[in-house]
Structure 1
Amino acid sequence: MGQAPKMIVTDQDRGMRAAIRDVLVDTKHRWCMWHIMLKLTDKIPRRCLENEELKKEISACVWSEVLEPEEFEDSWMGIMERYELLHVEWFVTMFDDREMWVPAYFRDFPMGSLIRTTSVSESENSFYKTFTRPRSNLVEFIMNFDHALAAQRNSSSKLDYMDSTIIPPFSSQLVLEKHAATKYTDHMFKRVQREIVDALHHCSTDGLLKDDVLEISTIKDKYSKSWVVTYTTSEDSYSCSCKLFGREGILCSHIFLVFKNRFLKVIPDKYFHVRWLKTALADVIRGPARCLTDPELLSDPNQLSKNKVADIFFSYMKKFDADSAIIDLFSVGIDELGKSLMTRIHEPSLADKDKPVKDFYFAEKPAVVRVQPPSVVSTKGSKSDSKSRLVSAKEKAIKLNSKPLRQCKKCGEFGHHDSRNCGRQKGK
């Protein structure tokens, strides 16, 4: 990637932890919270398995983003004392390693609240599996990978077009909200809009201290919890004790209330995180954004034609959005037009089909292929041929409980056994 990642999320593999500590010395290592919390029901003593309040208290303590490390430790120890878990080995071990997985220790880390599990990686794996096959050779894999990237870029282009043409509904008359709508993408604007609404209807100013350098406001939220917003006049900067901006890159409702009280009409540019803006494109992949009057862009007739087709398509889709019957007719018309145009395109020859491969390798296809794709490991991953992944006892129990009960003709009881294995199954 050219540089080490700022943070990496893994499971609790000790070997991986040691490798990351030795090689990626400046990378923040974090354990996946989902993997840890999944083990909770297995590690709780039997006497506490039916106690739903214990599970709720542990989840509220662990998953909270607003607790400071000291507050988390006090809350955790209080739970351990109330439910007599101080000497349970798993809870002792997880408390000793709390800096590896608890959000309270990632409050000051940028995007720390968004990257808590390996779900981002797993979703990417699932996406690319729809385009690739387990026994593809290298050339097929590269081509399928390009198709996957093209699908992502097409979705991104569609969202960019929607952001540039659709005006979202507003929840207030604040000029700040309208300014946010012009900057943020649709998804992030809805997130920021909720903070603005909370500032207007659920937050109140509980105190204000001023001097020549600082302006300190105490803001009370809808949970009656107080937060401190500090405005530094010399730097024209705002900070809140909830640290939402540092974690996610968006302003909190407490700062928006101070904006409102100070009659600000626009959000300062320093508080727009590039990740959430409409104009934020992946320059490394797609190149820097260029305006429509760019001479280089105007000199490319192929790109201009593509842009024109995209504009026509999305403009008609916006007009036909409310009528599914017209959309069906529109799709049929496009399909017929495409088929009629295909008759004018000559069928590519064998040499034309091999040209992308030659261009990729910068060489002719050899007469004898000496290097073959490696054998697929039959017991690794969901794409294996044997499907021989070991299933845990917990997964087996969940699958068994999902099956309907049936009556045994031998004992007359309702369960998951029949007359053939009645005694053996009941014995288990």
Structure 2
Amino acid sequence: MLDPNQKERVVRSNFSKRTDCGALLCVLFEDGFWKVYKFVEEHNQELVERPDKHFLPTERHLTQLQKHVIHSMSKLNLGPVKAFNVMKTCFGGFEDVGASKVEFKNYKRQINLFIGEYDAYIVVKHLNEKKQSQPNFAYDYITDEENRLKGLFWCDGQAKRNYHVFGDVISFDAMYRSNKYSMVFVPFTSIDNHHCNVTFGAALLASETADTYIWLLRVFLKAIGSQPKVVVTDQDPAMKKVVSVVFVDTRHRLCMWHVMHKLSLKVGVRLCNSTNFKERICGVVWRDIRTPEEFESEWEAVIAEFNLEDNDWLSDIFALRESWIRAYYRMEHMSGLMRTTSRSESENHFFGQVCNSKATLVEFMTHYETAIEAQRHTYRKNDHESRYKRPQLKSSYKLLEGQVVDIYTKSIFCDVQAELIGVADCINQRYEDQPDGFVKFYVNDFQQPYEHSMHGVIEILFLAFFREFPKQYILNRWRKEASPNCSPELLISREYMTELDPDVQSMMREELSLYKDHVQSYTMKVQDMQIVAPPASSRDRFAKITGQYKNDKNPIRVPDHIMAEEFYNTFFNAFTSESSEISTVTPKTITKAINENIKHDNFYGTHSIPPTLESIEDYTWWKERFIN
């Protein structure tokens, strides 16, 4: 009986190239010579013209270079089609690539098939290998009763060092769906001394429960070793409880950008677009310098003007105002994380390059490591410019401005320079000595609504005739020397060298330089002497790419709610129906049998292409994967 709810099976139209042509050439190797014993010249179909030769299947093959390009571009979250377009541009045309988009996509599909259900296992194994080679690397994971991955956290030594410098205020949220299993990506971030994002670690979570977040924060605390002063999160009601349970000495704040990002949805798009309500309410929220009383008065005035007293969402966020409005904790240092729209959009864009809803966990980890490498390269570039480039002094206070150049990074200097220029309008050099020993100073407009909170401090410094910044007002996290601009190995050597006599230091530098030159020369000699090995099989190439060289008896499995059935449905019937003895089959007959099975018994509605089988060992391995 037919199921009325079952969808109608869709069958694609296939055009065949076969015409039962009898043309052939038969040869025989005899007495050391090839002999033609049969030749039929007549064809019953048109021969392919030379300009169309590259469309023939026999002319379409991926070279090792092209396979390397596909994998390398995958690290940048660029798919096989973009890799093909790059190769087309490099080679000069489609006909010169030697393959089509289909071959590029099929190669990527074969890698994903190789990964299969071992996706989570490969990633955990990769992190474990990092732990073995990097003692300061930390990772942890949890699984359910079926050994399926529920949560995964990791951070390296550089992330830990960054945390101890810039980790006074951290942010984490779970708004990124990063892979095909819908696991949530949770990065821990802050702001470095160049006002750029810096990442302290990251996690993947299969579910967003309170217990999962408590596990994550405890693992993070164990890896990092100390609690942050302030944690900024989105408006998740469970977050407040979770943060208070784990970070008992930490203040919890809400991200202003996440709160205001919901404004149009909660109030109505028509109201925001047809009136100046959004402009008015954002002006009340984002303005930095005001007292709590001023904020409440202006907020209530805007709400009353637009008759929104009954809006539950606006009432709720107003009740939480002490957690996200700057007027209620102006004296707390927030490092810019409470935070501007451009800051949050920059962070979203950065991690958006990592996330891909169709990516495997192996691909995601590759994307993440590439992105972090780029982030740290940007930091070193900014650090280099701050150390070795001198800005132009523009204010009237060259002495203080010159000190700022030596103390702060380039971006922080620009902020302070703007303060020095702006505060000059407020300075009035008139002062009076008081009988009690104090000095009374006069300013032109002390109530002026300045853009930055540093104005008051700078005014006092000027009015008291200071000629240098007191050290107690200089935060180490904004200094040039906050984080050494070098590798951990070089950092250790520098710390050791500073304890030595200058003459000894000079001799050691010369010896180290000579040693480095010797190593480079020997490396070049070894490369020249290398013997070109025969090309590896598909399985060996995929194993090298993914890091999976042998199967585990009880591997960590991917989350069950999005189990990738296409890895099994495509070929399971094909392999189980192939009943021939292994010793009597060839890769050609195996591939033909699989193709016929998929063509005639495509129960699951998939049109995936079977893997390339280059040997009997390849066939045996693939068959064990899909049957067992």
- TM-score (norm. length: structure 2): 0.41
State the partner residue of 2:480. 278
Q: Residues of 2 paired with 1:27 and 1:274: CA distance? A: 20
Tell me the CA shift for residue 196 of structure 1.
0.6
State the partner residue of 2:360. 134
Greater relative contact order (CA < 8 Å, ≥ 6 in sequence): 2
2:383–2:485 CA contact under 8 A, matched in 1: no
Q: Residues of 1 paired with 2:514 and 2:414: CA distance? A: 31
State the partner residue of 1:57. 280
State the partner residue of 2:40. none
State the partner residue of 1:92. 315
2:245 to 22, 25, 30: 22
Give the letter aligned to residue 552 of structure 2.
Answer: V
Change over 3 Å in CA distance of 1:257–1:366 after alignment to 2? closer
Q: Residues of 2 paired with 1:302 and 1:345: CA distance? A: 29
Give the letter aligned to residue 156 of structure 1.
Answer: Y
Instruction: Tell me which structure has the larger Cα radius of gyration.
Output: 2
* Residues 1:104 and 2:104 aligned together: no
Tell me the CA shift for residue 190 of structure 1.
0.8
State the partner residue of 1:181. 405
Q: Deviations over 1:197-225 (max 9, x none)?
A: 1012x32449867655765656455xx83
Give the letter aligned to residue 555 of structure 2.
Answer: Q
Name the SS for the 1:9 alignment partner: strand
1:268 to 470, 484, 488: 470
Q: Deviations over 1:69-121 (max 9, x none)?
A: 12211211222233322232222222111112212123121126433379376
Tell me the CA shift for residue 8 of structure 1.
1.9
State the partner residue of 2:421. 197
Matches within 5 A, 1:135-174: 135-136=361-362, 141=365, 151-173=374-396, 174=398
Change over 3 Å in CA distance of 1:7–1:348 after alignment to 2? farther
Matches within 5 A, 1:3-402: 3-44=226-267, 48-50=271-273, 52-111=275-334, 113-116=336-339, 119=344, 122=348, 125-126=351-352, 134-136=360-362, 141=365, 151-173=374-396, 174-200=398-424, 202-205=425-428, 212=436, 217=441, 219-220=443-444, 225-226=447-448, 244=453, 252-281=454-483, 286=488, 290=495, 293=498, 295=500, 304-305=512-513, 343-344=527-528, 346=530, 368-375=551-558
Name the SS for the 1:107 alignment partner: coil
Q: Residues of 1 paired with 2:233 and 2:264: CA distance? A: 21
Any stretches of 5+ residues in structure 1 without a counterpart?
228-240, 245-251, 310-336, 351-364, 386-428
Q: Deviations over 1:263-308 (max 9, x none)?
A: 3322122221111111111699945764865549878779954999
Give the letter aligned to residue 135 of structure 1.
Answer: L
Change over 3 Å in CA distance of 1:111–1:172 after alignment to 2? same
Q: Residues of 1 paired with 2:383 and 2:511: CA distance? A: 17
Give the letter aligned to residue 136 of structure 1.
Answer: V
Q: Residues of 1 paired with 2:269 and 2:370: CA distance? A: 51
2:409–2:479 CA contact under 8 A, matched in 1: yes
Mean Cα displacement is larger for which, 96-105 or 18-27? 18-27
Q: Residues of 2 paired with 1:129 and 1:307: CA distance? A: 42
Q: Residues of 2 paired with 1:187 and 1:180: CA distance? A: 11
- Identity of paired residues, percent? 25
Any stretches of 5+ residues in structure 2 without a counterpart?
1-223, 537-547, 567-628
Change over 3 Å in CA distance of 1:256–1:377 after alignment to 2? farther
1:185–1:276 CA contact under 8 A, matched in 2: yes
Matched pairs, number: 315
2:281–2:299 CA contact under 8 A, matched in 1: yes
Q: Residues of 2 paired with 1:144 and 1:25: CA distance? A: 34
Q: Residues of 1 paired with 2:407 and 2:331: CA distance? A: 25
Change over 3 Å in CA distance of 1:105–1:189 after alignment to 2? same
Name the SS for the 1:65 alignment partner: coil
2:254–2:338 CA contact under 8 A, matched in 1: no
Give the letter aligned to residue 92 of structure 1.
Answer: S
Name the SS for the 1:26 alignment partner: coil
1:205–1:220 CA contact under 8 A, matched in 2: yes
Tell me the CA shift for residue 371 of structure 1.
4.2
Give the letter aligned to residue 479 of structure 2.
Answer: L
Tell me the CA shift for residue 23 of structure 1.
3.1
Name the SS for the 1:4 alignment partner: coil
Q: Residues of 2 paired with 1:114 and 1:101: CA distance? A: 11
Change over 3 Å in CA distance of 1:20–1:176 after alignment to 2? same
